[in-house]
Amino acid sequence: MPQVTLTVNGQTHSVEVEGRTLLVELLREKLRLTGTHVGCDTSQCGACVVHINGESVKSCTTLAVMCQGAQVTTIEGLAKPDGTLHPMQEAFREYHALQCGFCTPGMVMSAVDLVAKNPQGLSEQEIREGLEGNLCRCTGYHNIVKAIAAAQDVMHGRRETLAAAAE
């Protein structure tokens, strides 16, 4: 069986996988990082989004063997080691942008990448379009859009805290 060596949330792992093993299977079943979810198997819902070398990627349609040498960040690796939440995680809580929580890890990982790639700032409509690849069945997206709008100001240093962004 092929062996793949990759770094996940700063820790290096060498794992034997089948050729058909998906990255999400490696994360969930081999590394027991179950924060990354599978919601649709067809790249529609985005519950499985992680970052590979800083880019948001759907891990349900990425083969594990494609990740040789990659730096992978999952939702478990987003907060600081002391537990301080990333501004995007904080914003989701502040704006009640999650209900059942199942889409949340993928939604947050997508949102972090979306904001990082757009330092000029995103309008509400641009955020909505930027979330095309992520489904949420609970919230109606209203509060997710608000959370991302608030978090981008903090991530880009335009505001210091979410409370300020909420004004």
Residue owning tokens 């992978």: 72
Residue 4 or 45 with smaller CB distance to another protein? 45
SS3 state of residue 76: helix
What is the rounded distance in angstroms from the CA atom of residue 64 to the CA atom of residue 26?
7
| SS3 call for 51 | strand
Residue 85 is a binding residue for another protein (CB under 8 A): yes
Using CB under 8 A as the binding rule, the residues of this chain from 45 to 74 that contact another protein are 45, 47, 74
Q: DSSP string of 53-67?
A: TTEEEEGGGSBGGGG
Binding of residue 30 to another protein (CB under 8 A): no
Q: Does 11 bind another protein (CB under 8 A)?
A: no
Residue choice 49, 105, 113, 162 for contact with another protein (CB under 8 A) = 105
Q: Which two tokens mark 42?
A: 């067809």
Site residues, another protein (CB under 8 A): 18, 20, 28, 32-42, 44-45, 47, 74-76, 78-79, 85, 89, 92-94, 96, 98-105, 108, 124-125, 127-129, 131-132, 134-145
